[in-house]
Structure 1
Amino acid sequence: MDKIAVVILNWNGVKLLEQFLPSVLQYSEEAVIYVADNASTDNSVNFVKENFPSVKIIQNTGNHGFAKGYNDALSHVNAEIYALVNSDIEVTENWLKPIIETFDKEKQTAIIQPKILDFKNKEFFEYAGGAGGFIDKYGFPFCRGRIFDTIEKDNGQYNDNCELFWASGACFFIRKEVYHQLKGFDEGFFAHQEEIDLCWRAKNEGHVIKYNSQSIVYHVGGATLQQGNPKKTYLNFRNSLLMLVKNLPEKGLFFVIFFRMILDGIAGIRFLTQGKFGHTFAILKAHFSFYSLSLKYHKKRKDFQIQQYYTVKSIVFLYYIKKLLVFKEIFNSNQNIKN
């Protein structure tokens, strides 16, 4: 069995592979490199075969999105540690070494995220993960380095190795045994929020999720589905509700979901006033989809859910009403912290 496998999921991303795969090969001598292709219709597979013969190729049978795409691909990968890496990630020298060392020293640690900075503006954190993720009581995710649309400059304020609630799927390390114990990503999600759901399920099983600032990568972000795309809005809102049904503690489950749906409605009205009608419709569509799937997802609940899953009660209130825009502002106000 290999120590670590870097697995890059690809769909019609030949230009991204051409740009970013060389850095992965240059700085990942400890790893076996895979490209898992989701039935691309461009020249991706032939490009990799012709230009990077050392890279192993896994060809999935269709474009199954992030969740099933990785589940299918990883059934063919035999390594102690899976490194799931977006095709628009530039890695840096020695990016794998601190990750491997942490897994070797901390047997209880199951999932690790590196520091994720913006490829286009390398002094700033990147939207999809920053310096590690948390959620509030109503399931809204936020990151150290990024809360909603406020993105921080990296001034070393998160140069630590701390415990997280969730790690970004843009660059996500997980022990093989844990991944399969959890039965991988929820394939019904297709894409978006599936890594938070997986991390929540890992937490419910007693596993530890960590951030390691010594490992640094740069992420383009939005290379496959732009941030302002209504489809992304639909998947995020729908999957967040499904995740809550699966993982919330039984006590208060109905209230939390009901209040979250009210907050979603407010978000829909806000989009409407901004003229973003496609996003308002996407939230409505997400809710109707949630209604049809909620019973099915309730049946996926396990016997045990951690009670204290959230770090703050409402990140929406703190950000939009109290105007606390960055992570450290919130956590310097002790009354906001729910331990």
Structure 2
Amino acid sequence: MKKIAIVILNWNGAKLLKEFLPSVVKYSQEGTVYVIDNASTDDSILVLKEDFPSVQIIQNKENFGFAQGYNEGLQNIEEEIYCLVNSDIEVTENWLTPILSHFEQHPNTAIVQPKILDYKKKTHFEYAGAGGGFIDKFGYPYCRGRIFDTIEEDKGQYNDTRKIFWASGACFFIRKNVFRELKGFDADFFAHQEEIDLCWRSFNRSYDTFYCGQSTVYHLGGGTLSNSNPRKTFLNFRNSLLMLTKNLPTQSLLFILFERLILDGIAGIQFLTTGKHKHILAIIKAHISFYALLIKTIRKRDAKVKNTYYQTTSIVYSYFVKKCTIFADKF
């Protein structure tokens, strides 16, 4: 058995498979390529069988979403390292080599992310992950190479290897034993920020998450939900609140949650002023869903929650007030 499994979750993505799977198959000889299919109704399975006979197919019984879809499919995969790859990722030659080397040399590293550039503009970082992820005190995610909507050009400034707080689910390497110890992604998230929650839980168990800038992939982005889709707004706001409730240090949980709810209200006002009324409704629905899941989420809190996490400042304040628009301005 090979050491690494390259695993793509697919739902009605036959077109994306045709476009992006060839590079994955070509440049992943060190591992076995799997596609977990979330009960697609298009011709995804036919495409896989006819065009990619070397790819192993795992068929889920229904569309479980990103989180549970991976949880279900990965039960059938036994390689030591999982590489979870979006179906709209183009990989590059030797992309696996530096990451496998890092895992071998750093036994406490549980999770790794490569450099993620924009498939449509390959000179720039991509929104989802860029040069490695962090969160501020209120749970707002940002990256080296991307803070809110400001995206940096790749000039080699993040060609390093360094510890980060979260790795992007667009291209996410994790040791199998850690994934199973943490019981995988939280299925209540369905999609969006489930990888940040998993990284936070890994952090609480004293594992390391790293960014490896010697490995590069290109991400199309928006293949399932675009940034303009209110469903994405709902999932991001709801799941961020769930993540904070699960992982914040006990002594700061109530205070930070209260402040975050206020900030969500301000975000709603901003949507109002720009005429994005469906997004206001999405925030309201996100809060209702959060309250409905609150007791269940509190029960998921890990006894090993740490008293500290990465940031004690606000990226919102730094970006909008202090005008720190790129990572190097502040960190």
Report TM bin, short chain: over 0.9
Tell me how far 1:306 sits from its aligned partner.
Answer: 1.8
TM-score relative to the length of structure 2: 0.99
Q: Is the 8 A contact 2:250 2:307 kept in 1?
A: no
Report what 1:2 is aligned to: 2
Report what 2:156 is aligned to: 156
Distance across 2 between alignment mates of 1:327 and 1:302 = 31
Report what 1:336 is aligned to: none
Runs of 4+ in structure 1 off by over 4 angstroms are: none
Tell me how far 1:310 sits from its aligned partner.
Answer: 2.8
Q: Does 1:115 align with 2:115?
A: yes
Distance across 2 between alignment mates of 1:147 and 1:281 = 25
Kindly report which structure 2 residues correspond to 1:16-165, keeping only aligned pairs within 5 A, or say none: 16-165=16-165
Give % identity: 63
Give secondary structure in 2 for the equivalent of 1:76.
Answer: coil
Task: State the superposition RMSD in angstroms.
Answer: 0.7
Q: 1:312 to 1:253 in 2, by over 3 A?
A: closer
TM-score relative to the length of structure 1: 0.97
Tell me how far 1:323 sits from its aligned partner.
Answer: 1.0
Distance across 1 between alignment mates of 2:55 and 2:243 = 35
Amino acid paired to 1:60: N
Amino acid paired to 1:207: Y
Tell me how far 1:159 sits from its aligned partner.
Answer: 1.0
Amino acid paired to 2:194: E
Distance across 2 between alignment mates of 1:229 and 1:289 = 18
Report what 1:209 is aligned to: 209
Q: Deviations over 1:268-293 (max 9, x none)?
A: 10011000011111011101111111
Distance across 1 between alignment mates of 2:196 and 2:7 = 19
Report what 1:221 is aligned to: 221
**Unmatched 5+ residue regions in structure 1?**
332-339
Amino acid paired to 2:6: V
Q: Deviations over 1:87-143 (max 9, x none)?
A: 000000000000100000100100000000000000000000000000000100000
Tell me how far 1:216 sits from its aligned partner.
Answer: 0.3
Amino acid paired to 2:123: E
Report what 1:335 is aligned to: none
Report what 2:291 is aligned to: 291
Report what 1:166 is aligned to: 166
Tell me how far 1:312 sits from its aligned partner.
Answer: 4.6
Q: Is the 8 A contact 1:2 1:78 kept in 2?
A: no
Distance across 2 between alignment mates of 1:6 and 1:55 = 10
Q: Is the 8 A contact 2:85 2:170 kept in 1?
A: yes
Distance across 2 between alignment mates of 1:297 and 1:323 = 35
Give secondary structure in 1 for the equivalent of 2:270.
Answer: helix
| Range 288-297 or range 191-200, more displaced | 288-297
